[in-house]
């Protein structure tokens, strides 16, 4: 049964256990998500959005509430997992690797198993989302602080530089010396995504739970000698509009300017992807042949996998020669959805 917004809003804070597990409340003004019965002050309706699960709220950029602890509140949650989650929340910028877990006397395999079983994501993915959500939010909130810091020399703000670099790579020493890449998070039909753009055009469009995201941010920063900053520009605004039209089946080609960032070979491969018409698919083999690189199928497939501009550079239109969907960074259900959308729009 699907509860209405009003029913869910009315249920917030009633402590009625019947609503537990039925929805999660995201509070836009604080960036925090809660269980239905949280004791925290009830937010205004206009500041609330609802999710089916904690994972959805995390992917949309929220952080778990420290009062109702939506990630670990289940009475069966072992104490050591609670401790681990608490540690993460206190220092979101610190990465806990398998070896660190062992040093803390945890068994990495059982930690991974617990997160998979209870939250349908890996411990690494959970950490990454917490890190991104904490950092992005703080930087967004702290725009004026950030500008002051940039003017005064970034290192003068203790701690801030560290949290900034945990999301966007090394800290900018001076904004005057480097170009700026704007990064913007938005919620689209297929979930929460990051868009990034230089002055010249779009250089990244990715789902927020994409494993490679931080590596891609890093690659952008290095290759463009740029600073990544939350914010938007005309290319980002144009792409948001075009994406909405695309998702609604009202747009079959994107007109927004692109600024593809990668090696020469990667750019060649991505430009080849841009030539695959809407509603059509080709195999990796065909793609390699069309580039005159029939011997390099695997290298072409690898470069497809490094595509940073999902959907617009349509790597979803490449499938296995046996018709299998093979892989997709955004997950196979999304690839299927995109191909179905395009197919249903071209048959009539
Ligand atoms: Zn709460």
Q: What is the 258 CA–ligand 1 centroid distance (Å)?
A: 41
In the set 38, 68, 125, 315, the catalytic residue is 315
Q: What is the mean pLDDT of the chain?
A: 85
Distance 207 CA to ligand 1 centre (A): 26
Q: What is the average pLDDT across 210-216? A: 84
Tens of pLDDT, residue by residue over 65-123, are: 988 889 887 778 888 899 998 888 888 777 888 999 999 889 999 999 998 888 888 88
| Percent residues over pLDDT 70 in the chain | 86
HEC states along the chain? CCCCHHHHHHHCCCCCHHHCCCCEEEECCCCEEECCCCCCCCCCHHHEEEECCHHHHHHCCCEECCCCCCCCCCCCCCHHHHHHHHHHHHCCCCCCCHHHHHHCCCCHHHHHHHHHHHHCCCHHHHHHHHHHHHHHHHHHHCHHHHHHHHHHCHHHCCCHHHHHHHHHCCCCCCCCCCEEEEEEEEEECCEEEEEEECCCCEEEEEECCCCCHHHHHHHHHHHHCEEEEECCCHHHHHHHHHHHHHHCCCCCCCCCCECCCCCHHHHHHHHHHHCCCCCCCEEHHHHHHHCCCHHHHHHHHHHHHCCCECCCCCHHHEECCCCCCCCCCCCHHHHHHHHHHHHHHHCC
Contacts (Cβ under 8 Å, ≥6 apart) of 23: 3, 8, 11, 36, 50, 51, 52
> Sorting pLDDT into bands at 50, 70 and 90, what band is 150?
low
Q: Which of 32-36, 42-46, 343-347 has the lowest mean pLDDT?
A: 343-347
- Going by pLDDT thresholds of 50, 70 and 90, the confidence category of residue 44 is very high
Contacts for 313 with CB less than 8 Å, ≥ 6 apart: 258, 260, 270, 273, 274, 307
272 neighbors 315 (Cβ within 8 angstroms): no
Q: What is the pLDDT of residue 142?
A: 58
281 C-alpha vs ligand 1 centroid, how far in Å?
46
Confidence of residue 174 (pLDDT cuts 50, 70, 90): very low
Query: Which of 83-92, 141-150, 236-245 comes out lowest in average pLDDT?
Result: 141-150
Distance from Cα 98 to the centre of ligand 1, integer Å: 30
Q: Place 133 in a pLDDT band, splitting at 50, 70 and 90.
A: confident
When comparing pLDDT for 237 and 138, which is higher? 237
Name 283's bridge partners.
Answer: 319
122 vs 250, residue with greater confidence: 250
Q: For residue 21, name the pLDDT band (cuts at 50, 70, 90).
A: confident
Q: What is the pLDDT of residue 176?
A: 46
Q: Is residue 250 predicted with pLDDT exceeding 70?
A: yes
Query: Among 145-159, 205-219, 259-273, which is the least confidently predicted range?
Result: 145-159
Determine whether 224 is an active site residue. no
Are 195 and 228 spatial neighbours (Cβ–Cβ below 8 Å)? Answer: no
Name the CATH code of domain 1-70 (choices 1.10.3720.10, 3.40.50.720, 3.30.300.30, 3.40.10.10).
Answer: 3.40.10.10
Dump pLDDT digits (tens) for 279-333: 999 999 999 999 999 899 999 999 999 999 999 999 999 998 888 888 888 889 9
Tokens of 302: 């690898």
Could you tell me the distance, in angstroms and rounded to a whole number, from the CA of residue 64 to the centre of ligand 1? 7
User: Which one has a higher pLDDT value, 317 or 154?
Assistant: 317
CA of 282 to the centre of ligand 1 (A): 48
Mean pLDDT of 180-199: 88
- Ligand 1 center to 230 CA (angstroms): 27
Give the lowest-confidence range in 3-12, 54-63, 236-245. 54-63
Q: What are phi and psi of 105, to 5 degrees?
A: 70, 30
How far away, in angstroms, is 82 Cα from ligand 1 center? 16
In this prediction, residue 149 has a pLDDT band, given cuts at 50, 70 and 90, of: low
CATH pick for 178-348 out of 3.40.50.2020, 1.10.10.10, 1.20.1510.10, 1.10.3210.50: 1.10.10.10
Average pLDDT over residues 251-265: 96
**Alpha-carbon span 87 to 92, nearest angstrom:** 8
- Which phi and psi angles does 179 have, rounded to 5°? -85, 165
Q: How would residue 45 be classed by pLDDT, with cut points 50, 70 and 90?
A: very high
Q: Are the C-beta atoms of residues 227 and 178 closer than 8 Å to each other?
A: yes
Average pLDDT score over residue span 52-59 = 88
Decide the pairing of beta strands 24-27 and 32-34: antiparallel
- pLDDT value at 213 more than 60: yes
> What is the pLDDT at residue 178?
62
Using CA atoms, how far apart are residues 304 and 293, in angstroms rounded to an integer?
A: 14
CB 134 within 8 A of CB 30: no
Q: Where are the domains of the chain?
A: 1-70, 71-135, 178-348
Q: Give the dihedral sign, CA 200/224/237/273.
A: positive
Q: State yes or no: pLDDT of 5 exceeds 80.
A: yes
The model's pTM: 0.69
Query: How many CB atoms are located within 10 Å of the residue 309 CB?
Result: 26
């Amino acid at each position: 049964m699907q509860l209405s917004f009003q029913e869910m809003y009315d249920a917030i804070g009633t402590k009625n256990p019947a609503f537990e597990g039925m929805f999660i409340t995201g509070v836009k003004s604080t960036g925090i998500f809660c269980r239905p019965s949280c004791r925290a002050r009830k937010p205004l309706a206009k500041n609330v959005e609802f999710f089916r699960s904690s994972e959805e709220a995390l992917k949309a950029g929220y952080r778990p509430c420290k009062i109702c602890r939506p990630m670990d509140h289940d009475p069966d949650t072992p104490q050591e997992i609670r401790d681990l989650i608490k540690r993460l929340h206190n220092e979101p910028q610190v990465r806990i690797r398998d070896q660190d877990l062992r040093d803390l006397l945890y068994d990495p395999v059982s930690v991974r198993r617990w997160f998979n079983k209870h939250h349908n994501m890996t411990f690494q993915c959970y950490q990454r989302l917490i890190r991104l959500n904490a950092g992005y939010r703080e930087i967004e909130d702290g725009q004026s602080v950030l500008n002051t810091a940039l003017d005064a020399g970034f290192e003068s703000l203790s701690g801030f530089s560290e949290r900034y670099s945990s999301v966007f790579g090394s800290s900018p020493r001076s904004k005057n010396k480097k170009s700026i890449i704007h990064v913007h998070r938005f919620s689209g039909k297929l979930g929460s995504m990051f868009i990034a753009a230089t002055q010249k055009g779009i250089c990244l469009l990715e789902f927020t739970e994409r494993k490679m995201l931080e590596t891609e941010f890093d690659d952008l920063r290095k290759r463009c000698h740029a600073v990544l900053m939350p914010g938007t520009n005309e290319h980002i605004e144009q792409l948001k509009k075009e994406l909405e039209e695309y998702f609604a089946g009202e747009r079959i080609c994107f007109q927004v300017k692109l600024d593809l960032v990668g090696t020469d070979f990667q750019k060649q491969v991505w430009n080849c992807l841009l030539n695959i018409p809407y509603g059509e698919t080709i195999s990796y083999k065909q793609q390699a042949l069309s580039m005159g690189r029939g011997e390099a199928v695997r290298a072409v497939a690898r470069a497809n996998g490094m595509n940073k501009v999902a959907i617009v550079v349509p790597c979803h239109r490449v499938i296995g020669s046996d018709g299998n969907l093979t892989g997709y960074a955004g997950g196979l259900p999304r690839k299927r959805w995109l191909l179905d959308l395009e197919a249903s729009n071209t048959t009539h």
